[in-house]
Amino acid sequence: MPIQNLISLQRVLRSVPASNKDHLLEQLSALLGAGAPDLDTQVALQSMIDRERLGSTGIGDGVALPHGRLKGLTQAIGAFVTLEHEIDYNSLDRKPVRMAFALLVPDSATQEHLQLLRELAIIFSNKNVREHLLHAASAEEMYRTLTGSPPDR
Protein backbone atom coordinates (compact mmCIF):
# COMPACT_ATOMS: atom_id res chain seq x y z
CA MET A 1 0.00 0.00 0.00
CA PRO A 2 1.50 3.38 -0.97
CA ILE A 3 2.19 5.61 2.01
CA GLN A 4 -0.09 8.33 0.61
CA ASN A 5 -2.98 5.90 1.19
CA LEU A 6 -2.07 5.79 4.90
CA ILE A 7 -1.67 9.47 5.70
CA SER A 8 -3.15 12.78 4.75
CA LEU A 9 -1.79 16.26 5.25
CA GLN A 10 -4.03 16.72 8.30
CA ARG A 11 -2.32 13.72 9.96
CA VAL A 12 1.20 15.16 9.59
CA LEU A 13 2.46 17.60 12.24
CA ARG A 14 5.74 19.37 12.80
CA SER A 15 7.40 20.16 16.16
CA VAL A 16 4.84 18.48 18.40
CA PRO A 17 5.47 19.11 22.11
CA ALA A 18 5.59 15.74 23.88
CA SER A 19 7.25 15.30 27.24
CA ASN A 20 7.39 11.49 27.22
CA LYS A 21 6.32 8.34 25.37
CA ASP A 22 2.82 8.24 26.89
CA HIS A 23 2.17 11.86 25.95
CA LEU A 24 3.42 11.18 22.41
CA LEU A 25 1.11 8.16 22.05
CA GLU A 26 -1.85 10.24 23.27
CA GLN A 27 -1.12 12.91 20.69
CA LEU A 28 -0.66 10.35 17.93
CA SER A 29 -3.98 8.66 18.73
CA ALA A 30 -5.74 12.04 18.55
CA LEU A 31 -4.00 12.76 15.25
CA LEU A 32 -5.04 9.37 13.89
CA GLY A 33 -8.63 10.36 14.66
CA ALA A 34 -8.32 13.51 12.52
CA GLY A 35 -10.39 12.91 9.43
CA ALA A 36 -11.52 9.52 10.72
CA PRO A 37 -14.64 10.28 12.78
CA ASP A 38 -15.43 6.59 13.29
CA LEU A 39 -12.09 5.95 14.96
CA ASP A 40 -12.27 5.69 18.75
CA THR A 41 -9.07 7.46 19.74
CA GLN A 42 -9.05 5.88 23.22
CA VAL A 43 -9.19 2.40 21.69
CA ALA A 44 -6.44 3.41 19.26
CA LEU A 45 -4.31 4.67 22.14
CA GLN A 46 -4.84 1.48 24.14
CA SER A 47 -3.87 -0.62 21.11
CA MET A 48 -0.55 1.24 20.79
CA ILE A 49 0.08 1.06 24.56
CA ASP A 50 -0.60 -2.68 24.54
CA ARG A 51 1.88 -3.12 21.70
CA GLU A 52 4.54 -1.05 23.52
CA ARG A 53 4.22 -3.40 26.51
CA LEU A 54 5.49 -6.21 24.27
CA GLY A 55 8.63 -4.21 23.47
CA SER A 56 9.60 -0.76 22.33
CA THR A 57 8.65 0.31 18.82
CA GLY A 58 11.57 2.73 18.81
CA ILE A 59 13.46 1.35 15.80
CA GLY A 60 16.56 3.51 16.20
CA ASP A 61 18.08 6.60 14.61
CA GLY A 62 15.54 8.81 16.40
CA VAL A 63 12.47 7.07 14.93
CA ALA A 64 9.53 5.32 16.58
CA LEU A 65 6.90 3.27 14.75
CA PRO A 66 4.11 2.82 17.30
CA HIS A 67 1.43 0.56 15.90
CA GLY A 68 -1.54 -1.57 16.72
CA ARG A 69 -4.46 -3.56 15.40
CA LEU A 70 -8.08 -2.55 15.79
CA LYS A 71 -11.27 -4.52 15.42
CA GLY A 72 -13.72 -2.77 13.14
CA LEU A 73 -11.07 -0.76 11.30
CA THR A 74 -11.65 -1.19 7.57
CA GLN A 75 -8.28 -0.02 6.27
CA ALA A 76 -4.83 0.89 7.57
CA ILE A 77 -4.33 4.47 8.74
CA GLY A 78 -1.22 6.39 9.72
CA ALA A 79 0.01 9.65 11.20
CA PHE A 80 3.46 11.24 11.32
CA VAL A 81 5.02 13.79 13.66
CA THR A 82 8.35 15.34 14.40
CA LEU A 83 8.90 16.37 17.98
CA GLU A 84 9.79 19.74 19.40
CA HIS A 85 12.31 18.04 21.69
CA GLU A 86 13.70 14.53 21.66
CA ILE A 87 12.28 12.11 24.22
CA ASP A 88 13.40 8.87 25.79
CA TYR A 89 11.55 6.02 24.10
CA ASN A 90 13.55 2.99 25.22
CA SER A 91 14.58 2.54 21.57
CA LEU A 92 16.57 -0.43 20.34
CA ASP A 93 19.68 1.74 19.92
CA ARG A 94 19.01 3.52 23.25
CA LYS A 95 18.93 6.89 21.47
CA PRO A 96 16.08 9.37 22.01
CA VAL A 97 13.23 9.75 19.51
CA ARG A 98 12.66 12.87 17.39
CA MET A 99 9.98 11.55 15.03
CA ALA A 100 7.21 8.98 15.05
CA PHE A 101 4.99 7.33 12.47
CA ALA A 102 1.90 5.75 14.07
CA LEU A 103 0.16 2.94 12.22
CA LEU A 104 -3.16 1.24 12.88
CA VAL A 105 -4.35 -1.73 10.84
CA PRO A 106 -7.50 -3.86 10.85
CA ASP A 107 -7.32 -6.70 13.37
CA SER A 108 -7.26 -9.37 10.65
CA ALA A 109 -4.60 -7.71 8.47
CA THR A 110 -1.54 -9.61 9.73
CA GLN A 111 0.37 -9.75 6.45
CA GLU A 112 -0.51 -6.17 5.50
CA HIS A 113 0.59 -5.03 8.96
CA LEU A 114 4.00 -6.66 8.59
CA GLN A 115 4.44 -5.38 5.03
CA LEU A 116 3.59 -1.80 6.03
CA LEU A 117 6.00 -1.91 8.97
CA ARG A 118 8.71 -3.23 6.63
CA GLU A 119 8.06 -0.43 4.12
CA LEU A 120 8.13 2.22 6.85
CA ALA A 121 11.36 0.80 8.29
CA ILE A 122 12.95 1.05 4.83
CA ILE A 123 11.83 4.67 4.43
CA PHE A 124 13.16 5.67 7.85
CA SER A 125 16.43 3.79 7.42
CA ASN A 126 17.41 6.44 4.86
CA LYS A 127 19.47 9.10 6.64
CA ASN A 128 18.66 11.73 3.98
CA VAL A 129 14.92 11.18 4.45
CA ARG A 130 15.23 11.45 8.24
CA GLU A 131 17.29 14.65 7.98
CA HIS A 132 14.87 16.19 5.49
CA LEU A 133 11.90 15.39 7.74
CA LEU A 134 13.61 16.87 10.81
CA HIS A 135 14.51 20.08 9.00
CA ALA A 136 11.32 20.51 6.97
CA ALA A 137 9.83 23.98 7.23
CA SER A 138 6.21 22.78 7.07
CA ALA A 139 3.89 19.81 7.35
CA GLU A 140 3.40 20.04 3.58
CA GLU A 141 7.12 19.56 3.02
CA MET A 142 7.15 16.57 5.38
CA TYR A 143 4.15 15.08 3.58
CA ARG A 144 5.89 15.47 0.20
CA THR A 145 9.04 13.87 1.59
CA LEU A 146 7.11 10.87 2.90
CA THR A 147 4.87 10.37 -0.12
CA GLY A 148 6.76 11.85 -3.02
CA SER A 149 3.61 13.73 -4.01
CA PRO A 150 1.80 17.02 -3.33
CA PRO A 151 -0.70 16.91 -0.45
CA ASP A 152 -4.41 16.36 -1.02
CA ARG A 153 -6.24 19.20 0.68
Catalytic residue among 23, 67, 113, 132: 67
Nearest to 61 by CA among 141, 123, 153: 123
Question: How far is it, in rounded angstroms, from Cα 98 to Cα 94?
Answer: 13
Which alpha helices (H) appear in the chain, and where do they start and end?
21-33, 41-54, 110-124, 127-135, 139-147
Instruction: State the distance between the two ends of the chain, measured CA to CA, in whole angstroms.
Output: 20
Nearest to 130 by CA among 76, 32, 64: 64
Question: How far is it, in rounded angstroms, from Cα 124 to Cα 146?
Answer: 9
- Residue 135 annotated to the active site: no
Residues forming the active site? 67
